[in-house]
């Protein structure tokens, strides 16, 4: 079970990467709260 958990954590992608891969704006991929938190983190 530990190996599966570690593999899943390595496979995680950021919402920004998913939006870029799909050719969509971040708002269409992530909930507004996550998009807002990410923009505050990047802007800080």
- Tens of pLDDT, residue by residue over 1-44, are 899 999 999 999 988 899 999 999 988 988 888 878 877 876 55
**The model's pTM:** 0.61
- Tens of pLDDT, residue by residue over 4-16, are 999 999 999 988 8
Show Cβ contacts of residue 19 under 8 Å, excluding neighbours closer than 6 positions: 25, 26, 28, 29, 30
9 lies in which domain range?
2-43
Overall number of domains in the chain: 1
State how far the alpha carbon of 14 is from the alpha carbons of 1, 2, 40, in Å: 23, 22, 15
CA atoms of 35 and 33, how far apart (whole Å): 6
């Amino acid at each position: 079970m530990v190996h599966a958990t570690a593999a899943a954590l390595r496979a995680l992608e950021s919402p920004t990467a998913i939006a870029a891969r799909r050719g969509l704006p971040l708002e269409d991929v992530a909930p507004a709260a996550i998009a807002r938190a990410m923009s505050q983190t990047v802007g800080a």
